[in-house]
Structure 1
Amino acid sequence: MRRPEPEPVRAGEESAWDYPRPPRVEPVSQRITIRLGGVLIADTVDAVRVLETSHPPVYYLPADSFLEGALVPTEGSSFCEFKGGAAYFDVHGGSRIVSRAAWTYPQPARGFESLRGRVAVYAGEMDACTVGDEQVTPQPGRFYGGWITSRIRGPFKGEPGSMGW
């Protein structure tokens, strides 16, 4: 399948098609928040994001930035060719529980050590996730966990017809 045509980028914007493969990790200077069940379950200014070609950034927050009891380890695992083996959490907030909506890399692969002790969540499963003052849009599909802000241009992996990219 042909590589799609990247959307035009204006000043202050980024193209997901300029992100590297293999991906890289970089610090985030904005405040990141996550709400579930009407409760602020995570709040930090110490996040990192993973950037990978054709994907919006995936944000990883320190596990200790989550409200106590918000992350409950659950069964199952997955493997990323770059980051290594992932473990999952059910996410609790207010009266809501979302199964396997967060993940971590307990022993991240070489080059991704900065993900140790950090957790990412599927934005689409939460009430709201913010980067700075902006509520994010979840990356299409549930396989990927990227967060789309107004500064990021696609098209993005996960959209219909993108499996062959």
Structure 2
Amino acid sequence: MFSRRVWLAMPLAFPQHMASGSSLPHPTAAQRVKPGPGQLSVWEAPFTRPPSVRDVRGKHVVLRVGEDGPVILESTNGVQICETSHPPTWYFPQEDIRMGHLRRIGGATMCEFKGRATYFDIMAEPDGASNPAARALVPQGAWTYDRTDTTPIEGRVAFYLRPPLVAHVDGERAAPQEGDFYGGWITSDVVGPFKGGTGTRFW
């Protein structure tokens, strides 16, 4: 079972996910990384299926274009979706996001837990969302659930960490979840192995 299945796929594209290869078995207990002090394993609660919501408000998150480029979001109001095998996915309120950098696109995916997700291109310029001629800096780089039973994330926006986007959480640079379909962020407080690579589609 996986978090989001492609539905009305065009113009959305997840080529790595759709051609993810064979199905690896779930990691055994011996293959899972043992969490140290202050760490959580994505194979133990609060990482569950159906996923849980983790309130991490107070953590300072900055997402920008490159190390020193324009800030896309700055927030201490993030919440995480924590699902078995996945690094947490962060969702942020729109008031903490420079929404002029986001342009809604067609197509959607459907999650069996959260419902219908719609997507945004991330634009280089702050007025890019309203400029029909502007080219996307990160196509299909963010998504939202406009209506969902998972109410703490309703209307919030999540971001893929695709180049040239750079995210820092309390000063630590976050790494992207492997693959092109899931949008988890990896920081030092979570340990895997993580879903996303070849063969892990059904973890």
The question of 1:24 aligning with 2:52 is answered: yes
Deviation at 1:96, TM superposition (A): 6.0
Cα distance between partner residues in 2 of 1:85 and 1:118 = 13
Distance in 2 (alpha carbons) for counterparts of 1:68 and 1:163: 32
Amino acid across the alignment from 2:144: T
Structure 1 alignment gaps of length 5 or more: none
SS in 2 for 1:64: helix
Aligned equivalent of 1:3, options 15, 21, 26: 26
Structure-2 separation of matches of 1:68 and 1:106: 15
Distance in 1 (alpha carbons) for counterparts of 2:103 and 2:95: 13
Moved more, 140-149 or 84-93: 84-93
Alpha-carbon RMSD across the aligned residues, in angstroms, is 1.6
Aligned mate of 2:112, from 81, 94, 100: 81
In 2, Cα distance between the equivalents of 1:86 and 1:44? 22
- Find out whether 1:99 has 2:139 as its counterpart: yes
AA in 1 matched with 2:51? P
* Identity level (%): 39
Aligned residues: 163
Q: CA deviation at 1:124?
A: 2.5
Residue 157 of structure 1 aligns to a residue in which SS? coil
Residue 101 of structure 2: aligned partner: 70
Counterpart in the other structure of 2:171: 133
Equivalent position SS for 2:162: helix
Cα deviation, 1:14-39, whole Å, max 9, x if unaligned, reads: 10111111001121130111112621
1: CA distance, partners of 2:107 / 2:170: 32
- Counterpart of 2:79? 48
SS at match of 2:105: strand
Residue 190 of structure 2 is aligned to residue 152 of structure 1? yes
Give the TM-score of the pair, scaled to structure 1. 0.92
Q: Return the alpha-carbon distance in structure 2 between the equivalents of residues 118 and 93 of structure 1.
A: 21
Larger radius of gyration between Structure 1 and Structure 2:
2
**Is structure 2 residue 63 aligned with structure 1 residue 34?**
yes
Query: Deviation of residue 115 (structure 1)?
Result: 0.9
Per-residue CA deviation, residues 42-68 of structure 1 (Å, 9 max, x unaligned), is 001111000000000000011121114
Unaligned stretches of 5+ in structure 2? 1-23, 126-134
SS of equivalent to 1:69: helix
Summarize deviations over 1:76-98 as a string: whole Å, max 9, x none.
11100000000101112348621
Query: In the TM superposition, what is the alpha-carbon distance from 1:126 to its structure 2 partner?
Result: 4.2
**Residue 132 of structure 1: CA displacement?**
1.2
On the 8 A contact 2:121/2:136 being kept in 1, the answer is no
> 1 CA distance for matches of 2:99 and 2:147?
22
Contact 1:77 1:86 in 2 (8 A): yes
Tell whether the 8 Å contact from 1:36 to 1:92 is kept in structure 2 after alignment. Answer: no
Task: Return the TM-score normalized by structure 2.
Answer: 0.76
1:124 aligns with 2:152: no
Deviates further, 125-134 or 7-16: 125-134
